[in-house]
Structure 1
Amino acid sequence: MIGILTGSIIGLVLGKKVEIIKPLGDIFLNLLFTSVIPLIFFAIASSIANIEQMGKFGKVMGSMLLVFAFTTLLSAFLMILGVKLFPIVDNLNLTMAENPSGKIPTFGEQATQLLTTTDFYELLSRKSMLALIIFSILVGTATLKAGKAGEKFKDFINAGNEVFKWVISLIMKAAPIGLGTYFAYLIGVFGPELFGSYAHSLALYYCFCLIYFFVMFSFYAWIAGGNRAVKSYWSNNVLPSLTALGTCSSVATIPANMEAAENMGVSKSISDVTIPLGATLHKDGSSIGSVIKIGLVFAIFGKNLSGIDVVFTTLGVAVLTSIVEGGIPNGGYIGELFIVTAFRLPIEALSVLMVMATLIDPMATLLNATGDTVAAMMISRITEGKNWVNHKLTVDA
């Protein structure tokens, strides 16, 4: 927190000159990215391989998809109501540049690139997160099915899981410098733009997200385990929140989230699957961001965000966008293509959407990342019963 506060002050004082120290933040983030990819593989594969019964894994997965879909749809619907109550007015007067490629990939092409890779080595890139997760689930399931023949391999992935947790722990010792530098960069470079032509839309987005962050996440935690779960959630949510804001990356926040989930009392069999999957599939902030971006371009092109068909299309786009957006800085640009395609907007709209995506990225990542831990609490409630929150307290005692 001292590092982040210092970085924020430096960003305010130096402005765009602060870009000179950005490489320090890049080094920290690159170290996290290179380590978190093998961590995701070992965490998911070992977690599934150690499940005693496949039925339990199916129950966890089913509960996870239910919780993810519920919160994503609810967040988008509430933002639609927000846009209706506080309509966005076109005061940008921007000259929009055309998309350099001029080509929008088809849905099938985007789905293929999202779910699979053409070679094994491509799985090791954070650009192929969902493909890596699918592969990790297959490896973990195959190890479980192999029984005694797969014991040595299970020992290997269990050991890999423990080793890379330590690797992440060592890297996170540089967090005060890395996160502080990124906060300085975000405030110094993007701070002035927050009060420019996009101020109206950004004010609506940031105010709504702050309310959603404190009110809805508290409500979700309360559903999961009552007042004790609410207190546990917020007392362990500081580091994940600061990491998400500073790095603008759900992937970089995975290690902090996994530690926080464990401290909240979520069992490893749930957190080791839910947190990595959530970084890719569960993004309330991106869902809300899709709605505000749709409202903005609708205002620019004179379209109305009304009608059952438009509302349902908006909800569908919000859910799809929250799934396809990568958990990396500015990973949401593929989502902008969905918006343009779904509403048949001019290709020039991409420039406005991309600028907006960059400006909302910190707050979107905050909701995306920290929403995974409260989702893990809700999944624990469904799969382990209402007394799951007392388990850790009993163990600690």
Structure 2
Amino acid sequence: MKFKFGLLPRIFVAIALGVVVGSFAPEWMARVFATFNSLFGNFLNFIVPLIILGFIAPGIAQLGKGSGKLLGLATAFAYISTIIAGIIAFFAATTILPKFMNGKTLTGVADPESALATSFITLELPPVFGVMSALILAFLLGIGMASTGSKTMLSFFDEFQAIIEKTISNVIIPLLPFHIFGIFANMAYGGAVAKILSLFAIVFIMIIALHWIMLMLQYTTAGSLNKKNPLMLLKTMLPAYFTALGTQSSAATIPVTLRQARKTGTNERVADFTVPLFATIHLSGSMITLVSCAIGVLMLTGGMPTFGSFFPFMMMLGVTMIAAPGVPGGAVMAAIGLLQSMLGFDQTMVALMIALYMAQDSFGTATNVTGDGALAMIVDRFSGENKVLKSDNI
């Protein structure tokens, strides 16, 4: 029997090697890693809108008259999950953090990006259109093909999807471990993460615990509705979690998330439609991180967070974050305007927020994409679609 070194162990090896090599790498070597990350990251930014268009448009069309219902269900469940995550984070943070953050100050916190190695070259590879444009276009074309019964366009998008899937399986997935290695090597070289986490250790631990509580809630719900073991379902989705942990990008993890979601027994057409969509609109992990970090920053600066001020912030944040998916740190960048206008953050507080968030961004992203698998199962359960895929011993 031939031994197969799967994606998950490759990701573990990439993370471990990245930390070790980055800790001792000279500057020129760190810049080599940064150069690869830059080129591969630009390629991902280019192809992500095409992935969204290639999967969502034919997915809606193939679901026919049920596409409108499926889109409504997916959007509603994603938003509800994101808001619930924010509420859980608020009450946990306001209960736990005051017991541990007395006496902490803003002194000594630096910009986490300043110490990282830079790329030797800068190659711009702008996408054909943005993520939001891809989503709207996919909805428009998919619903249009479903309502008109267009076979010609559906055939085109089926072939377009096949091309995208080839690119994913032959280019993106094989290179992901190298990309993860480069990211962790660069972080270890800059020493940024260690400096930040030493000051915010309790915040970090609390956020990770809340992420896993949210995942257990999501998979318990999905497992109960589908009469499957939630722990086995969560285990099936772990490759997506660790891929996102390294890439810090929900969009870059779409191929892995999609593959694992199909293994849970989710209808293949429903998975093809919901997973790319959820990568953009389901942000429960990022919500937990942002709410917890914002409360921590407020407490560090003497503020007293209230649910009355945070609930409208969370409601708006659940929509605003959609504008910046797939980009490491994109959620906190999208949230800056709300932090300033709704919570009264000044420049110092915003800088601290960015530093704290960036140190934990990958964990929030990993929670986002892992939860996508549970939501895909929930949507599938309520969509009325007949199962075309069966679970393998789940």
TM bracket (short chain): 0.7 to 0.9
Q: 1:5 aligned to 13, 16, 26, which one? A: 13
Distance 1:338 1:37 in 2: 26
Q: Is residue 290–residue 318 contact of structure 1 (8 Å, CA) maintained in 2?
A: no
Q: Is residue 68–residue 282 contact of structure 1 (8 Å, CA) maintained in 2?
A: yes
CA RMSD of aligned residues (A): 2.9
Instruction: Give per-residue Cα distances to partners, 1:26-65, cap 9 Å, x unaligned.
Output: 4444443333321211211111222332xx1122122212
Is 1:324 matched up with 2:323? yes
Report what 1:19 is aligned to. Answer: 30
Query: Per the alignment, do residues 175 and 394 of structure 1 end up closer, same or farther by CA in structure 2, a change over 3 Å counting?
Result: closer
Amino acid in structure 2 at the alignment position of 1:273: F
Report what 1:224 is aligned to. Answer: 225
Q: Is residue 330–residue 358 contact of structure 1 (8 Å, CA) maintained in 2?
A: yes
Q: Is residue 196–residue 355 contact of structure 2 (8 Å, CA) maintained in 1?
A: no
Query: Per the alignment, do residues 12 and 210 of structure 1 end up closer, same or farther by CA in structure 2, a change over 3 Å counting?
Result: farther
Is 1:340 matched up with 2:340? yes
Is 1:50 matched up with 2:47? no
What is the DSSP-based 3-state SS (H/G/I as helix, E as strand, rest coil) of the residue aligned with 1:393? coil
Alignment of structure 1 residues 1-397 onto 2, 5 Å: 1-2=9-10, 4-12=12-20, 14-15=22-23, 17=25, 19-20=30-31, 21-53=33-65, 56-88=66-98, 89=101, 91-94=104-107, 124-125=128-129, 128-147=130-149, 150-171=150-171, 172-189=173-190, 190-213=192-215, 215-228=216-229, 230-231=231-232, 233-306=233-306, 308-332=307-331, 333-384=333-384, 392-393=389-390
Mark the runs of 5 or more structure 1 residues left unpaired by the alignment: 99-120
Q: What is the TM-score when the length of structure 2 is the normalising length?
A: 0.82
Distance 2:10 2:259 in 1: 21
Amino acid in structure 1 at the alignment position of 2:62: N
What is the DSSP-based 3-state SS (H/G/I as helix, E as strand, rest coil) of the residue aligned with 1:348? helix
Distance 1:141 1:81 in 2: 40
Q: Is residue 29–residue 247 contact of structure 1 (8 Å, CA) maintained in 2?
A: no
Query: Per the alignment, do residues 57 and 347 of structure 1 end up closer, same or farther by CA in structure 2, a change over 3 Å counting?
Result: same
Shift of 1:160: 0.2
Q: Is residue 124–residue 132 contact of structure 1 (8 Å, CA) maintained in 2?
A: no
Shift of 1:76: 0.9
Shift of 1:3: 5.1
Instruction: Give per-residue Cα distances to partners, 1:112-136, cap 9 Å, x unaligned.
Output: xxxxxxxxx98724xx312210111
Shift of 1:379: 0.6
Amino acid in structure 1 at the alignment position of 2:365: T
Distance 1:337 1:276 in 2: 26
Distance 1:51 1:242 in 2: 31
Q: What is the TM-score when the length of structure 1 is the normalising length?
A: 0.81
What is the DSSP-based 3-state SS (H/G/I as helix, E as strand, rest coil) of the residue aligned with 1:303? coil
Q: Is residue 82–residue 318 contact of structure 2 (8 Å, CA) maintained in 1?
A: yes
The share of aligned pairs that are identical, in percent, is 19
Shift of 1:180: 2.6
Instruction: Give per-residue Cα distances to partners, 1:267-318, cap 9 Å, x unaligned.
Output: 2332222112211111011111121122023113322123x52242343244
Query: Per the alignment, do residues 10 and 87 of structure 1 end up closer, same or farther by CA in structure 2, a change over 3 Å counting?
Result: closer
Distance 1:178 1:44 in 2: 26
Amino acid in structure 2 at the alignment position of 1:392: L
Distance 1:142 1:377 in 2: 25
Query: Per the alignment, do residues 378 and 301 of structure 1 end up closer, same or farther by CA in structure 2, a change over 3 Å counting?
Result: same
Report what 1:114 is aligned to. Answer: none
Larger deviation, residues 81-90 vs 283-292: 81-90
Amino acid in structure 1 at the alignment position of 2:23: G
Q: Is residue 47–residue 268 contact of structure 1 (8 Å, CA) maintained in 2?
A: no
Shift of 1:164: 0.8
